[in-house]
Amino acid sequence: MTIDLLPGHGVRLPAPLPELRFGLSEAAVRALLDPYGALLPGGVHPAFVCGSRWALTFQLPGVTVTLSSGGGRDRENDGDSDVLENIGVSRNPNDDRPACPVGYLGIDVFGWPAHELAEALRAEGLPVPDPDHGTMRHTHLYLHRSSGRPAQPAAPGRKPRHEAPYYFDHVSLHRTAAEAAIAPQPTGTATGPHDAAFLPRRELSARPAEQPITEAVPKLGGEPCWLAEPAWPLSPDTGEPLVFIGQFPVPGEDERLAYLFLAEENGVMGGLDPESGDGVLLVQPGGRVPPFAVIGPPGTHGRTLWRRDGRHSAGGSKTDGNHADDAPTTPVEFHLDLLPLSPGADRAMDQRAAFQRYLRGEGPEVPFPDGAHVYDHLGGVPSFPTGRAGVPAPWRYLFSLSDAPDDGDPYFLNFGYGVGFGFLSPDGLEGRFSWENP
């Protein structure tokens, strides 16, 4: 039961409570929380936060959560004055229940002594300053301890040489103006699939949809939200409609989406060959249909992304130790939130790409990378399981998507425990997709 603060995105409350994104209106926040009144017995109440147009507060075990808007466009970092811009969590000394941990970059900000917390955050690539007089502030993050919790005094007659250890009991996260402009943009400098065609790099974080998604937003599963006439591809081998996997944003001034369709045969997805027609990435509006793609007649409709629900049944055929061909399936749909990576993870992924560049003979020798890798992301300098993209120049890298082949995974995608990659033409109007494994 953890509260996760998500930089640039918002807060993930303990399940089954919803995730609350920066940019939501007060009404939208209330609507998301209303179904969970039984889990919030104290209710959701208006609060006063200096400089905010609105604020709401509620209790969770051991803590108080406060959500507030910005204060106006003329104030630095406030963004849109009427939407959620600030999230605060404070220890509640009057609550005897075990307190919810509060995570930031995977670190419990109330669970470490202040100076050790600073070191842990630095290890994640966040250059926070040393705590000073009970506070620590860095861009969008602010922590402090209550004046009501004094540190242990020094021995009588002696002046302490160092500040005594203490813990923070309040944290606030706000969305900066830079984070509000979260969408990657074209760099204009890429010449091939190993370059950064779009920056900054953003994680693609899947969030279950509570109702059908009908807007042109990034997502997995559900029905395609077409921006032009529907164009459902067919398998060139069987003539059957391909499976709709998801839609991904195409960075740039104009609103465009790239729609991914894949064949599925015996539990394996198409797209191993980027131009065989069993994996198609369509761009709308104004995009070109790839020459190898077979588009069905008007009204063509195929299957959409699903998940497997359980192990193989008695007597069923089992494809491996983790999933079965005859497992029951359920259609699924997810929002794809574009989230900033931690500085440490972003740097580690650049180092991984630089090492692969060295192995291809295209760059200087660099140390072997040992940091985190976020497989599902859009933009940035890419890296590949084999060290080389499955398409040649001048195709540009757009996104990567790891597979999820097992029963119990949130959705089913089988790339042989590999990763799929989307690419765009230099003008951004035509797509390619291929997957590979180590």
Taking the C-alpha atoms of residue 243 and residue 304, their distance in angstroms, rounded to an integer, is: 5
Taking the C-alpha atoms of residue 150 and residue 171, their distance in angstroms, rounded to an integer, is: 18
Taking the C-alpha atoms of residue 97 and residue 92, their distance in angstroms, rounded to an integer, is: 10
- With tokens 């015996």, the residue in question is 266
Higher pLDDT, 277 or 78: 277
pLDDT value at position 134? Answer: 92
Query: Residue 272 pLDDT more than 90?
Result: yes
Higher pLDDT, 161 or 33: 33
**Is residue 90 classed as helix, strand or coil in its secondary structure?**
strand
Query: Residue 312 pLDDT more than 80?
Result: no
Query: Residue 81 pLDDT more than 80?
Result: no
Taking the C-alpha atoms of residue 233 and residue 357, their distance in angstroms, rounded to an integer, is: 35
Confidence tier at 76 by pLDDT (50, 70, 90): very low
Higher pLDDT, 185 or 316: 185
pLDDT value at position 180? Answer: 59
Confidence tier at 163 by pLDDT (50, 70, 90): low
Judged on CB neighbours under 10 Å (0-12, 13-18, 19+), 364 is exposed
The pLDDT of 335-352, averaged and rounded, is: 87
| Mean predicted lDDT score pLDDT of the chain | 88
pLDDT value at position 219? Answer: 97
Min mean pLDDT across 2-16, 75-89, 247-261 is at 75-89
Query: Residue 153 pLDDT more than 70?
Result: no
Query: Residue 159 pLDDT more than 90?
Result: no
Query: Residue 88 pLDDT more than 60?
Result: yes
The pLDDT of 99-123, averaged and rounded, is: 94
Give the tokens for residue 366: 């660099």
Q: How many CA atoms lie within 13 A of 410 on its CB side?
A: 11
Query: Residue 309 pLDDT more than 80?
Result: yes
Higher pLDDT, 94 or 236: 236
pLDDT value at position 347? Answer: 87
The pLDDT of 250-260, averaged and rounded, is: 92
Give the tokens for residue 267: 């539990």
Query: Residue 274 pLDDT more than 80?
Result: yes
Alpha carbon 38 to chain centroid, angstroms = 29
Confidence tier at 157 by pLDDT (50, 70, 90): low
Higher pLDDT, 300 or 406: 300
Confidence tier at 165 by pLDDT (50, 70, 90): confident
Give the tokens for residue 351: 């180092």
Query: Residue 292 pLDDT more than 80?
Result: yes
Q: How many CA atoms lie within 13 A of 293 on its CB side?
A: 26
Tens-place pLDDT, residues 35-65: 898 999 889 999 999 889 999 999 999 999 9
Taking the C-alpha atoms of residue 81 and residue 53, their distance in angstroms, rounded to an integer, is: 7
pLDDT value at position 320? Answer: 42
pLDDT value at position 179? Answer: 62
pLDDT value at position 260? Answer: 99
Min mean pLDDT across 25-29, 88-92, 374-378 is at 25-29
Min mean pLDDT across 18-27, 57-66, 151-160 is at 151-160
Judged on CB neighbours under 10 Å (0-12, 13-18, 19+), 122 is middle
Higher pLDDT, 179 or 391: 391
Taking the C-alpha atoms of residue 339 and residue 378, their distance in angstroms, rounded to an integer, is: 10
Taking the C-alpha atoms of residue 34 and residue 210, their distance in angstroms, rounded to an integer, is: 14
pLDDT value at position 235? Answer: 98
**Is residue 123 classed as helix, strand or coil in its secondary structure?**
helix
Taking the C-alpha atoms of residue 42 and residue 64, their distance in angstroms, rounded to an integer, is: 11
Q: What percent of the chain has pLDDT over 70?
A: 88
